[in-house]
Amino acid sequence: MRTRVTDMFGIEFPVFAFSHCRDVVAAVSRAGGMGVLGALYFTPEELEIELKWIDDHVDGRPYGVDVVMPASYEGADLDVDSPAELVARLQGMIPQGHRAFVEDLLARHGVPPLDGSDSGKVLLGWTDATARPQVEVALRHPIALLANALGPPPADVVEQAHAKGVKVAALASTPRHAIKQVEVGVDVVVAQGTEAGGHTGEISTMVLIPQVVDAVDVPVLAAGGIGSGRQMAAGMALGAEGVWTGSIWLAVEEADTSETVRQRIIAATSRDTVRSRSWTGKPARLLKNEWTDAWESAESPGTLPMPLQFMLISDALRRIGRSDATELATFPAGQIIGAMNQVKPARQVVFEMVEEYIEAMERLGRITGDG
């Protein structure tokens, strides 16, 4: 397969795989696609270890790193000397009523507290201040792509990446976003429809992709609802030059997904997700369950703006993850989880996607008499 994207990165198939798991990233890159590691959950020191591992396991194939530098968030205008001070100031902005709501919800579901030694990493890379050290680590590795979720990356970050020969991508959920991103120098736009897992907009992939393709000159990757070869073919038919996938990798063999989450994914239908602010304060598609329902209930105090919401709930999520309260265990997931009902190696997922893509092309050829 050949598009501007396969040429840009020297890859065989224009299949980008977003994952927080280094094994998945390396496996997809080795299979001829391009793995992209989500850096969000890692401290700079941890990220260094993950990327070193990928460097050692990717057989020289290109891979990428995805960071979250939101264009807007609470506390962006605070005058602080260190990330630690920022965390402390932000902690002080979380209302007591919200903390009580979370504690009460957990108590009702019998979720035990963390022991004292186990205090969480409460901020993560949700802010410019905390994501920049991740970018610095990433740019010390031979990455081919730096991707940013939640808006155009800062112009100086784009410059730094370009100076190292690293291409920059950004996720867009409207044509206007895409235009802004290209204005700051983004090389690839990931146009992501509302059916995607994680942070997502309102417009569906079917409607969004042609609008973004028509709005910008750089290549566009189709994201949202794409986990099979037919969906890949549809994305390319809409004008994309590659696809960006996420949820499909949650249940592959290599994924370090917990058994609880894996079983939930296998059992879920495409109606079992919901766009909710209950994870980070910005709308994100999550597995719909008693957690997401609770934040929509009459008792809900409402969600807090990014990054306060995740700071509020991060210990709670870890407590839930270690408890038997699986009914509260939510996670970012796109609507394609309804079609995921088998655990396969990542390599096989890539090959089956390409095979089904080719079959779809042959079927389309027969419709117009070219087959």
Alpha-carbon distance of 152 to 209, in angstroms, equals 18
Of the pair 122, 361, the CB lying nearest a second copy is at 361
Please give the angle made by the CA atoms of 113, 83 and 201, to the nearest 5 degrees.
75
Of the pair 3, 348, the CB lying nearest a second copy is at 3
Cβ neighbours of residue 150 under 8 Å, at least 6 residues apart? 68, 69, 70, 71, 171, 199, 282
Of the pair 215, 328, the CB lying nearest a second copy is at 215
Of the pair 142, 338, the CB lying nearest a second copy is at 338
Alpha-carbon distance of 266 to 264, in angstroms, equals 6
End-to-end CA separation in angstroms for the chain: 18
Q: Provide the minimum distance between the beta carbon of 293 and a second copy in the complex, in angstroms, as a whole number.
A: 15
Q: Output the DSSP codes for 179-244.
A: HHHHHTT-SEEEEE-TTSSEE--SS-HHHHHHHHHHH-SS-EEEESS--SHHHHHHHHHTT-SEEE
Q: Which structure tokens are listed for 97? A: 């009523």
10 Å Cβ neighbour count for 148? Answer: 27
Q: Provide the minimum distance between the beta carbon of 236 and a second copy in the complex, in angstroms, as a whole number.
A: 6
Q: Provide the minimum distance between the beta carbon of 52 and a second copy in the complex, in angstroms, as a whole number.
A: 35
Q: Provide the minimum distance between the beta carbon of 20 and a second copy in the complex, in angstroms, as a whole number.
A: 22
Q: Provide the minimum distance between the beta carbon of 177 and a second copy in the complex, in angstroms, as a whole number.
A: 11
Which residues are at the interface with a second copy (CB under 8 A)?
Answer: 1-3, 174, 193-195, 201-211, 224-226, 228, 230-231, 233-239, 269-271, 334-336, 338-339, 358, 360-361, 363-370
Q: Provide the minimum distance between the beta carbon of 286 and a second copy in the complex, in angstroms, as a whole number.
A: 14
Q: Provide the minimum distance between the beta carbon of 239 and a second copy in the complex, in angstroms, as a whole number.
A: 6
Cβ neighbours of residue 144 under 8 Å, at least 6 residues apart? 9, 34, 62, 63, 64, 166, 167
What is the longest distance spanned by two Cα atoms in the chain? 69
Nearest to 364 by CA among 265, 230, 200: 230
Of the pair 125, 219, the CB lying nearest a second copy is at 219
Of the pair 174, 258, the CB lying nearest a second copy is at 174
10 Å Cβ neighbour count for 352? Answer: 13
Of the pair 311, 333, the CB lying nearest a second copy is at 333
